[in-house]
Structure 1
Amino acid sequence: MADTPLQRRFAADASLLPHMADLANDRILVALLSEEDYRAASFLDQRLLTERIGREWAAWDALPDLGAAAAPPDFIFHIGHVGSTLASRLLAEASGVLPLREPMLLRTLAQVAERIDRPESLWSPDLYRRRLAQVRGWLGRGFVPGQRAMVKASSVITAIADELTGTDARALFLHTSLPRYLETILAGEASLAETLAQAPARMARLAARLPGFPHALWQLPPVTRIAMSWLCEMESAQRTLPATNARHKWVDFEAMLTDPAAALAAQCAHFGLAADAAAIEAAVNGPIMRQYSKAPEHGYSPDLRRELQAEAAAKHGAAIAEAIEWVEALAGRYTHLADLPIR
């Protein structure tokens, strides 16, 4: 319930973004954003905090719990570097949905979830469940009555996707086949560095999910570590976002690029968003498809993506083949992985 002036304003005003948590002191940094700030931001993380963005710490319990009546956001989940930011921008442009791209608070929830049954956990399982529901309500607010919110999560958040979507939110899950993923990551220095940096945490998650996991990270060459990262996130989605659930729409990004207008129309229909053919055509024919979505000041295109993938495939062919064989061997041992697009 919202009883104080801060709680009443926070409950009704999406400009007050719960940006990040300080778990040790049980408080939230609230940032003041305009709707245009939301639409422009590629990441609602530490890069958001420029001098012009007002912010203030508030005790977690000083912020309201909006309760079961709060409208949940819908979600975009992904395995990383498969067009989730592009999809978010296209959906926002075509339908007017409010985009929230990679809010930091979800990373905090995922970190808490990893430790919730361990002695060092700061939260009890009950507190985690209550606060996760509270955060869902916060992220579902709009700037005007009836405005829908759509969260584009970080790739690691797929591990708790089922808890975030609950029984009512809809989700898009973007992925691609293992060969295309390997080529994409190897085509860019930044994507390669990021993926290798995240490999230890993903290895731990994957090993926890596969009993008797027979490998250690130090045994894996770099390209196989990238394949392991793909497998970790795909296995997470297989568990938390099963494609058999009508609320979950799985989309291969490479297929999406072959007909972006049809893909965008199907995604709008999945989320129940009002977007006519003219709005969809304007979105896919506008500047969004010619920009690098995470940094729109840089040009990028599907054709350039394919060129870079082909170069990576030629340069790293032997290592890519070895990595695919490594994943196939695991799929032979853990048969539920065999349905994933390994080839």
Structure 2
Amino acid sequence: MANDPFQRRFAADASLLPHMADLANDRVLVALLAEPDYRHASFLDQRLLTDRIGREWLPWDALPDLGTAAPRPDFIFHIGHVGSTLVSRLLAEVGDVLPLREPMLLRTLAQVAERIDRPESVWSPDRYRTRKRQALGWLGRGFGPGQRAMVKASSVITAIADDLTEADGRNLFLYVPLGRYIATILAGEASLAETLAQAPARMARLAAMLPDLDAALWQLPPVTRVAMSWLCEMATAQRTLSRRDPRHLWVDFEVMLANPASAIAAQVAHFGLTTDPGRIDAVIAGPIMRQYSKAPDHGYSPDLRRQLQVQAEETHAAAIRDAIAWVEALAARYTSLADLPIHNDQEIICSS
């Protein structure tokens, strides 16, 4: 690396984002982003690649290994549609944080990890471990000394959260109780369509976690499939982000909305960020809390969120009751699910 100008630049320059991987051809698409591009982007996926963004495919091994001493990113994990983009925007404003929202490279790692012990795996376990370490080093770069990279992962990445968590890292996990999750998903056509599209993969993951699960996706009505999705992601988090581990801060987003300044202050302390209460209050009072975080041009607020939830709860009351009863039956059968917050007034209880 010492004699290669590109590799030296890549090691120190967060503007060179390893955007996505092509497993078949063992290469990485490197995109050229300014710091405002990171801050404005709701997703670092295909939508990022406009004509304005320069990019080039390079062999994976053409990118440097930054070593074990390279900074690693902190993470925001979540179950989907529980305010993770909002929290990412808030933390990026109150501290010296570079936000990376749903980088596609992590999806590649998750895809490989899912098949790593199968004959069709494209990487050996050793190569997976090496390249996971490389990728974390790449995603941990900032634009200046002391700037912290913070990845807001997509919900499916929770399955490999324990692989991504460093011994001295800090992570946030966002969730809501089952009833509120169902209402949130049903309140938006796009969120419902996305959740139903992801249901087959989540059902497969849930079945792998629950021995002798006697249910098939085709047997579940749409609202129960939403409940199954919540159950899958919460059960996954129990395995990969133990609440007993001080590195992982679990936050009920509905509780956070009741006192966002206090919640952000707790998150700032958890991540070890430097800020002051006045800055937090100013950001909370600013436009971010009144915007739809995934599309800031559109207005959205906690009050509107709750109004839409109430409408969904009233419209789909019977189906929601059936879906909750389905999860309750599984929680009664599997002790690993017993402490999950199924009801809106229920907190997660950790037994010792």
Do these two structures clear the TM 0.5 threshold for a shared fold by scoring above it? yes
Residues 1:3 and 1:333: Cα distance change in structure 2 (over 3 Å):
farther
Distance 1:268 1:164 in 2: 20
| Code of the aligned partner of 1:117 | D
The equivalent of 1:308 in structure 2 is 308
| Aligned partner of residue 81 in structure 1, secondary structure | coil
Distance 1:123 1:166 in 2: 22
- Correspondences of 1:183-198 after superposition (within 5 Å): 183-198=183-198
Residues 1:98 and 1:236: Cα distance change in structure 2 (over 3 Å):
same
| Code of the aligned partner of 2:259 | D
The equivalent of 1:63 in structure 2 is 63
The equivalent of 1:48 in structure 2 is 48
The equivalent of 1:159 in structure 2 is 159
The equivalent of 1:221 in structure 2 is 221
Q: What's the CA shift for 1:277? A: 0.8
5+ long unaligned stretches in structure 2: 344-352
Distance 2:4 2:320 in 1: 58
Contact 1:2-1:65 within 8 A present in 2 as well = no
User: Which runs of structure 1 show a deviation greater than 3 angstroms over 4 or more consecutive aligned residues?
Assistant: none
Distance 1:327 1:37 in 2: 41
Deviations 1:269-289 (A, max 9, x none): 000000101110111000000
The equivalent of 2:18 in structure 1 is 18
Which sits farther off after the overlay, 13-22 or 207-216?
207-216
The equivalent of 1:94 in structure 2 is 94
TM-align CA RMSD: 0.7
Q: What's the CA shift for 1:167? A: 1.4
| Aligned partner of residue 149 in structure 1, secondary structure | strand
Distance 2:199 2:319 in 1: 17
The equivalent of 1:9 in structure 2 is 9
The equivalent of 2:38 in structure 1 is 38
Distance 1:192 1:3 in 2: 51
Distance 2:2 2:294 in 1: 36
| Aligned partner of residue 214 in structure 2, secondary structure | coil
The equivalent of 2:110 in structure 1 is 110
| Code of the aligned partner of 1:191 | S
Residues 1:338 and 1:3: Cα distance change in structure 2 (over 3 Å):
farther
Q: What's the CA shift for 1:76? A: 0.1
Deviations 1:162-211 (A, max 9, x none): 11013121100000000000000000000000000000000011111111
Q: What's the CA shift for 1:259? A: 0.5
Distance 1:98 1:279 in 2: 17
Q: What's the CA shift for 1:295? A: 0.2
TM-score of the pair, normalised by structure 1:
0.99
Identity %: 77
Distance 2:35 2:111 in 1: 28
| Code of the aligned partner of 1:55 | R
Contact 2:96-2:146 within 8 A present in 1 as well = no
Distance 1:342 1:123 in 2: 38
- Correspondences of 1:1-343 after superposition (within 5 Å): 3-343=3-343
Distance 1:130 1:78 in 2: 26
Contact 1:82-1:253 within 8 A present in 2 as well = yes
Residues 1:239 and 1:3: Cα distance change in structure 2 (over 3 Å):
farther
Deviations 1:236-270 (A, max 9, x none): 10010011111100000000000110011110000
| Aligned partner of residue 14 in structure 2, secondary structure | coil
Q: What's the CA shift for 1:2? A: 5.3
Distance 2:207 2:8 in 1: 45
Distance 2:173 2:2 in 1: 34
Contact 2:186-2:312 within 8 A present in 1 as well = yes
TM-score of the pair, normalised by structure 2:
0.96
Distance 2:67 2:328 in 1: 45
Matched positions, count: 343
